Chain A
Amino acid sequence: MTTNALPAKPWAVTSRTIVFGAVGAALYGALGVLSFIIPGTANVALRPALAIIPFVGIRFGPIAGFFTGLVGNAIVDQIQGFGFLTYWNWSLANGLIGLIVGLLAHYTREPAKDSRRVVWVAVISIVAVVVGLLFTVTDTFLGSTLGAWFTTAYLPAIAGTALVSVLLVPVLDKAWQPLANRAGR
């Protein structure tokens, strides 16, 4: 039995929503040190920490997922020196990934079989990444053209984030399940 880990109401904000969202954001910031540039590309970085956002969205709800993506990305920018408002739209896009994946997890049926659940987690994560990162089209407000945004920002970002989501989110989810069950969540 695993569905008990999901919050009963997707929009409910409890102390758990805030704490898990904050832990997710801190993990996103701290695990940023494990990022690396994909060889052969100019500036396409793979952030393994991105897997935290869909994981939090799926297991702790859309609000916690949104908080993790928004605040986590903003804190990484803050620590790197940009200030959290410079790439506000990317922070919001990351927040949307957490929100969308949380809603998808809540409103779609979670398979009981382990193998199918792995596929379910990966698929809803990718859908959320593809839809959520569309918000970065707001880069065009700062002078980027639609074509340049699509080829140099959106496509590399969804490729990297989707790869991380497929490889890490199901593993995180599988590792979390026994502990969630033991805690009665």
Chain B
Amino acid sequence: MEAPRYLAGDSFLGRRDPRVLILVPALTVVTVALIQDLRLMTVAAVVALGYYALARIPFRAVRANWAFVGVFVLLLAGINGVIAGAQEYGGAATELFSIPVLDVPVSTASVSYTITMLLRFLAIAATGFPLAFAVRPGDLAVAFARFGVPSRFAYGIDLTFRFIPTVSASLRETTAAQRLRGYEVSKTRNPIRRLEQIRPLVVPVTVSAFVDAEDVADALDLRGFGAQRRTWLRTLRFGTSDFVAIGLFLIAAIAATTATVSHRMPGLWLW
């Protein structure tokens, strides 16, 4: 985990304006947060996976990322879903069985709630992956500037991406240098001791990064950074496909919001 990767090639999402790839997951979060019904959530998850497929991200390249997301979602949504579902909908449906040791009753309602939660996070992750792997890191700052973020902060985002490889290289060098001085990480389960073991790496890397940052700040000042309105070399233009993609997800978000506000949004699906 060192630097962002671009994996979308010349796919449909790879050719989109980066603002589409930012707005779609944002609208997805709004939509799926409002959906409670398992059947509707299944539709949302299928649409999100269809969107993900448009990025044509090679699975081999993101297998580890999906495994990480999968474990995280299973732990977060799965376990929480079973426990929270039992607390919230315990008496609302037929009890199927009880989890031993924890003594948590599992009913059709808590199963419905848990699967809905899992699909919700799956939908969010499916639209989040193209944002992570189908936007060129250099385009993010321009996209944020176009969203109205002050150019200094937009440039700060750009600068962050540029610093990551330098800091990672510094971490590797520091680790090697400390090893030459006899630095060793002994195996321990004590988290305090582990943090203390990491200290000889974190402190020099951090301090040297901030010392070097002084030069960057001076260079920016010398070039009159922030003195005038900033323009960007990269220009972004919305095309028809961009409007259609955003329009579809916007309609879904508006429909979900309207249904919730007017109390027409279906609740938890019980069978």
Contact = CB atoms under 8 A, between A and B. Distances in A.
Contacts of B87: 145, 147-148
B12 interface: no
Q: What 5 A-B pairs are tightest by C-beta distance, nearest first?
A: A83-B128, A81-B65, A26-B163, A83-B131, A22-B159
A172 interface: yes
Interface stretch (A27-35, A100-108, A111-119, A123-131): A27-35
B132 A144 contact: no
A143 B25 contact: no
B271 interface: no
A168 B163 contact: no
B83 A148 contact: yes
14 contacts: A13-B152, A13-B226, A15-B225, A19-B156, A25-B160, A33-B1, A39-B191, A46-B191, A80-B68, A82-B128, A84-B132, A85-B26, A152-B76, A172-B207
A181 interface: no
B200 to A, nearest CB: 10
Contacts of A20: 210, 213, 217
Contact of B75 (A29, A43, A48): A43
A83 B8 CA distance: 14
B125 A82 contact: yes
A58 interface: no
Contact of B199 (A75, A77, A171): A171
A175 B4 CA distance: 30
A165 to B, nearest CB: 11
A22 to B, nearest CB: 4
Interface of A is mostly: helix
Contacts of B241: none
Interface in B76-114: 76-77, 79-81, 83-84, 87-88, 113
B142 interface: no
Interface in B167-185: 167-168, 171
Scoring A19, A26, A36 by chain B CB atoms within 10 A of each residue's CB, the highest score goes to A19
Scoring B77, B132, B216 by chain A CB atoms within 10 A of each residue's CB, the highest score goes to B132
Contacts of B133: 81
B225 to A, nearest CB: 5
Given A79-B3, A80-B68, A19 B213 contact: yes
Contacts of A72: 160
Contacts of B194: 36, 46
Nearest to B127: A83
A138 to B, nearest CB: 10
